[in-house]
Amino acid sequence: MLLRLRISLPDRPGALGQVTRALGTIGADIHQVTVLGREGGRAVDDFTVAWPVSADGPEAERNEPVCAHVRDRLSGLPGVSVEGVWITRAVPGAAPGYDLLRYVVAEPVRAYATLVDALPDLVGADWAVTVATGPGGRPARWSRLVHRSVRAPAEFSPAGEVPPRAVVSSDGDVRLLCVPVQDAGLCLVVGRRQGAEFHPAELDCVMRLVEVVAMLAPAGEATTVG
């Protein structure tokens, strides 16, 4: 089982080493470390680790005791703050962003459907959808689901208006990342039920991918998928 850990730690020599030693002590095998940002003398890193538990399917995704155990063991380290621990399907060392763009180039008529299918694994989320934002006029209103990933909710109708720009927010205990695609009359929404809030680096990554996909998608593609 793969876990993703988001950890804030002092940006100084030795701080990363104490985290990796602690992970080794509890039996986690580190597969990848990604630096999300540095600011104010602290760094925020994402660790992808293999946890020695055989678990598949929905029950594994709700395996809160495992995540809580890892969080508790790391939270006692001096200066270390655990922002989130959650199960991930992202494959360390893979390049899903490049794969996504390759598929979009090969079949641009399915550009947004391909984007929605790929994004959950790309940013360690649970699901993604695009929602039609209704005809013309501002502020835009949420309308109907147009595309949805395999594990996305059958309905998604949050309160309020479609955000005019890319934002991270929450709906109850679900973390959300929203990117309007105004030319297509859509808003992309990515949801994460466990773990940390979406980081600005993740928002920036998704915004850049959406920009490229929107350039490749033919006019009217958003209305061709129900």
Distance CA 29, CA 38 (A): 24
User: Are 100 and 115 contacting, i.e. CB atoms less than 8 angstroms apart?
Assistant: yes
Put residue 161 in one of left, alpha, beta given phi > 0 → left and psi -120 to 50 → alpha. Answer: beta
> What domain count does the chain have?
2
Span 149-207, pLDDT tens digits: 988 988 887 777 888 899 998 888 889 999 999 888 899 999 998 888 999 999 999 99
Pick the residue with more confidence: 24 or 63?
24
Q: Rounded CA gap, 87 and 92, in Å? A: 13
The CATH number of whichever domain residue 58 belongs to comes to 3.30.70.260
pLDDT at 46: 93
Same domain assignment for residues 120 and 215 = yes
Residue labelled with tokens 């994402």: 46
CA distance 77 to 20: 11
> What value, to the nearest 5°, has the Cα angle with vertex 196 and ends 70 and 69?
15
Examine the fold and report which residue of 41, 63, 87 is the final residue of a domain before the chain moves on: 87
Q: Which of 87, 106, 133 is the last residue of a domain?
A: 87
Give the end of a domain, one of 34, 69, 87.
Answer: 87
pLDDT: which is higher, 64 or 114: 114
DSSP bridge pairs for 42: 10, 39
The pTM score is 0.83
For residues 38 and 6, state if they share a domain: yes
Write down the pLDDT at residue 69.
Answer: 84
- In 3D space, the residue among 172, 171, 174, 169 whose CA is nearest the CA of residue 203 turns out to be 169
Q: What is the reported pLDDT for 61?
A: 47
Q: Contact, 123 vs 36, CB < 8 A?
A: no
Q: Do 119 and 216 belong to one domain?
A: yes
* Structure confidence at residue 194 (pLDDT): 81
Residue 129's domain spans which residues?
A: 96-223
Nearest to 108 by CA among 189, 214, 184: 214
Q: What is the pLDDT of residue 170?
A: 85
Question: 123-154: per-residue pLDDT in tens?
Answer: 889 999 999 886 654 556 777 889 999 889 88
Condensed to tens digits (0 to 9), the pLDDT of residues 47-71 reads 999 887 654 444 444 466 788 888 8
Q: What is the CATH number of the domain that holds 200?
A: 3.30.450.40
Same domain, 191 and 113: yes
